[in-house]
Amino acid sequence: MNRTFDTNIWPDSRYRNPARIRRQVIQALSAALLSMALLLALSIWAPASAASRIKDISNFEGVRDNMLVGYGLVVGLNGTGDSLKNGHFTKQSLKSMLNRLGVKPTDGGLDSKNVAAVMVTSTLPPFATKGTRIDVSVSALGDADSLLGGTLLVTPLLGANGDVYAVSQGGIVVGGFSAGGAAETVTKGVPTSGRIPNGAIVENEIGFDLESMKTVKLSLRNPDFTTSSRVAQAVNSFLGTLAATSTDPGTVNIVVPDAYKGRVVEMITDIEQLRIEPDQMARVVVDEQSGVIVMGENVRLSTVAIAQGNLTIRITESPEVSQPNPFAKTGTTEIVPRTQVQVDQGETQKLGVVSSGVTLQEFVNSLNALGIGPRDMITILQAVKSAGALQAEIEVM
**191/364 Cα distance (integer angstroms):** 44
Indicate the residue type of 27.
Q
- Residue 114 inside a domain? The answer is yes
| Contact assessment for residue 135 and residue 198, using Cβ atoms and an 8 Å cutoff | yes
- Residue 235 inside a domain? The answer is yes
More confident residue, 324 or 77: 77
- Residue 103 inside a domain? The answer is yes
Residue 3 is predicted with a pLDDT of: 46
Answer whether residue 363 shows pLDDT above 90.
no
Listed residue (342, 344, 348) closest to 307, CA to CA: 348
More confident residue, 295 or 8: 295
Supply the mean pLDDT for the chain.
Answer: 78
Answer whether residue 253 shows pLDDT above 70.
yes
Same domain, 242 and 306: no
Highest mean pLDDT among 2-6, 168-172, 176-180, 238-242: 168-172
More confident residue, 63 or 86: 63
- Residue 264 inside a domain? The answer is yes
Highest mean pLDDT among 19-23, 197-201, 331-335, 358-362: 197-201
Same domain, 192 and 75: yes
Same domain, 85 and 167: yes
Q: Which tens digits make up the pLDDT trace of 185-204?
A: 777 778 899 999 999 999 99
- Residue 55 inside a domain? The answer is no
Answer whether residue 8 shows pLDDT above 50.
no
DSSP for 321-339 reads EE-PPTT-SS---EEEP-E
Same domain, 118 and 159: yes
**113/100 Cα distance (integer angstroms):** 21
Mean pLDDT of 227-241: 92
Residue 131 is predicted with a pLDDT of: 92
Give me the sign of the Cα torsion angle 121, 126, 128, 134: negative
Expressed as residue numbers, the domain containing 221 is: 215-276
**167/186 Cα distance (integer angstroms):** 35
Same domain, 303 and 228: no
More confident residue, 306 or 122: 122
Highest mean pLDDT among 90-99, 231-240, 355-364: 231-240
Answer whether residue 274 shows pLDDT above 80.
yes
Answer whether residue 158 shows pLDDT above 90.
yes
Mean pLDDT of 145-154: 92
Same domain, 246 and 311: no
More confident residue, 149 or 360: 149
Residue 355 is predicted with a pLDDT of: 57
**72/138 Cα distance (integer angstroms):** 9
Same domain, 244 and 133: no
374 strand-pairing partners:
none
- The total of structural domains in the chain comes to 3
Percent of the chain with pLDDT over 90: 28
Residue 1 is predicted with a pLDDT of: 46
**Which phi-psi region, left, alpha or beta, contains residue 299 (left: φ > 0; alpha: ψ -120 to 50)?**
beta
DSSP for 176-215 reads -EEEE-SS-EEEES-TTEEEEEEEEEE-S------TT-SE
Boundary (domain end) residue, out of 252, 276, 300: 276
Could you tell me the pTM of the whole model? 0.63
Answer whether residue 96 shows pLDDT above 60.
yes
Q: Which of 64-78, 84-98, 160-174, 259-273 has the lowest mean pLDDT?
A: 84-98
Angle subtended by helix axes 225-239 and 264-271, to nearest 10: 120
Q: Which tens digits make up the pLDDT trace of 283-306?
A: 888 777 777 777 777 777 777 666
- Residue 208 inside a domain? The answer is no
DSSP for 36-61 reads HHHHHHHHHHSPPTT-EEHHHHEEET
Other beta carbons within 10 Å of 380: 18
285 strand-pairing partners:
294, 395
Indicate the residue type of 248.
D
The model's confidence at residue 259, banded by pLDDT at 50, 70 and 90, is: confident
- Residue 325 inside a domain? The answer is no
Mean pLDDT of 12-28: 60
Q: Which tens digits make up the pLDDT trace of 37-53?
A: 555 544 444 444 468 89
DSSP for 227-247 reads HHHHHHHHHHHHHTSS-EEEE
